[in-house]
Structure 1
Amino acid sequence: MFQITPVVRNLLIVNIALFFLDRSFDLSSTFALRSFLSPEYRPFQYVSYMFLHSTSSFGHVLSNMFGLLIFGPLLERIWGPKRFLFFYFFTGIGAGLLFSVINYFELAQIRDGLAVYLDHPNPQAFIDFLSSHAEFYYKSQSAFINSFEASPTNPQLIAQSREMAKAVYQFNVDIPMVGASGAIYGILMAFGMLFPNTELFLLFVPFPIKAKYFVGFYGLYSLYSGFQNAPNDNVAHFAHLGGMLFAFILLKYWNSSRQKFF
């Protein structure tokens, strides 16, 4: 049986309750984390996004809460409720900040590509823009692209392509981020740093894995996936890295100030 600590228990309750409320009242439209460039961006979203999850399935909130349940209680018992809760918010907000910075530069690339296309619209430039910034959209627009290639000077098709390119940029600006993953990855990082040689037994892995290797694998995987930026990958990998990075910084600070872990 898990000995659930008070803060972990309350976080589980709040996250699960808000998951079901979000499905009924669309809380994410206001409280999900938006891009700096979005008119819907609000500073409070760095806190509120941590308590919302994808409502398309229960898997997102379930996996995060499972990680909180497995690794959170031990850290709370070591640090106490106040320090654990501070750590949770520090890493979660830090994850959101890193995500926002990376997202800003990614959107800046799309915005620059859009500006170039709007200045010189033509079929090949349109194909290049979509294949670089909206591969999922590019594959569904073959009929329009064929028509544009057949009539590259048609003013109606040029105007339509301009609007489609603008829609791609706006779509990316409007993508929200939700989830406690940044804070959960922070908790995982802390566990790996404090108990590096603890052996973990994982599903589908027939041998134990030391916590330091487990954490290292997840960090490298998130780094790889973040730069890979695969189509249809809706996971905010840089937010995961942000949670781990801010956890590392905070633990090093606590250690340097000689404040006890346990």
Structure 2
Amino acid sequence: MFNNITPVVKGIIILNVVFYIGTVFIAPDLYDTFALHFFNDPRFHFWQPITHMFMHDDSNLLHLIMNMYVLMIFGPPLEKWMGNNKFIFFYLSSGIGAYLLTTGIDYYHYISMSQEWIEAGMSQEMVSERLYGTAIDPNFWGVMVGASGCTFGVLAGFAYLYPNIKLQILFIPFPIAAKWLIGAYFLYETIATLGLTGVQDNIGHAAHVGGAIIGFIITWYWKRNSMDQYRWD
């Protein structure tokens, strides 16, 4: 299995592990610096839309392991088809798609809650402090970390290019075609993003959906226009 890992996929996995070890065990003060905050949060920095893709939950090692496992399995076929540099662009673009959709939804909630509280008689200063705290004690909706948006882009691209490859997963005794298994996963994430599951969790469903949409669009466009003939190696 490990002999089949392509150069960029291997580099991304190493980078994620380095970020995890560095920000969790060596310099934990950097965790908040590289994790993604809402753009109105005092802790937001311009590099976070990129660096958050290489960060993972500091209290859940499984978060890192699962994302890297998905990348290791599904990333190499895409990298071989796209070429190394195109895969880097594809991977980062999926992560940006995850960021944009999540931030867009957060901004919608931000505006809605601001208007509701102002109409209730609160000042803008009180609203701002309640929404994202103060510079001393910021408390907006937490941080966004993880490569999940990127890996969902990889899953979407894989399902489009290789829809009929059979996948075997735990607890299901028969293989399922990639288009159905990954498609069902995407459908669930979309429903969860819309809040229709009734489950409260700490999972960035919108990031998964945003990453998958961008990953699918890029793969569809390159395939449709025979872009695989112009590799960026």
Report whether the alignment pairs 1:16 with 2:17.
yes
- Aligned twin of 1:53: 56
- How far residue 78 of structure 1 moved from its aligned partner, in angstroms, is 1.8
What CA RMSD, in Å, does the superposition of the two structures yield over aligned residues? Answer: 2.5
| 1:208 aligned onto 2:175 | yes
Q: Is the 8 A contact 2:36 2:143 kept in 1?
A: yes
Give how far 1:118 is off: 4.0
1:68 aligned counterpart, secondary structure: helix
Seen in structure 2, the aligned counterparts of structure 1 residues 8 and 119 have a Cα distance that, compared at 3 Å, is closer
- Superposition deviation, residue 242 in structure 1: 0.5
Match of 2:83 in 1: 80
Residue of structure 2 aligned with 1:186, choices 133, 153, 178 = 153
Q: For the Cα contact (< 8 Å) 1:52–1:180, is it kept in 2?
A: yes
Structure 1 residue runs without a partner (length 5+): 121-162
Match of 2:227 in 1: 259
Cα distance in 1 for residues equivalent to 2:39 and 2:185: 28
Which runs of at least 4 in structure 1 moved beyond 6 Å after TM superposition? none
Q: Give the 5 Å matches for 1:1-262.
A: 1-2=1-2, 3-24=4-25, 25-26=27-28, 27-119=30-122, 166-167=129-130, 170=133, 173-228=140-195, 232-260=200-228
Following TM superposition, by how much is the alpha carbon of 1:256 offset from its aligned partner in structure 2, in angstroms? 3.7
| Cα gap change, 1:172 to 1:113, in 2 (>3 Å) | farther
User: Which sits farther off after the overlay, 55-64 or 23-32?
Assistant: 23-32
Give me the identity figure in percent.
37
Per-residue deviation, 1:20: 1.5
Q: TM-score of the superposition, structure 2-length normalised? A: 0.86
Larger-Rg structure: 1
Distance (Å, rounded) in 2 between the aligned partners of 1:28 and 1:174: 16
AA paired with 1:173?
F
C-alpha change, 1:165 and 1:114, in structure 2 (3 Å) is: farther
Q: TM-score, normalised by structure 1?
A: 0.77
- Would the aligned equivalents of 1:201 and 1:209 in 2 still touch at CA under 8 Å? yes
Amino acid across the alignment from 1:52: M
Aligned with 1:34: secondary structure? coil
Contact in 1 for aligned 2:41/2:132 (Cα 8 Å): no
Letter of the aligned partner of 2:225 in structure 1?
S
Q: State the Cα distance separating 1:108 from its structure 2 match.
A: 1.9
SS class of match (2:152) = helix
1:194-222 deviations in Å (ceiling 9; x for gaps): 00011000011111111001111111111
Q: Give the Cα separation in 2 of the matches to 1:210 and 1:231.
A: 28
Judge conservation of contact 1:223–1:241 (CA < 8 Å) in 2.
Answer: yes
Structure 2 unaligned segments of length 5 or more: list them: none
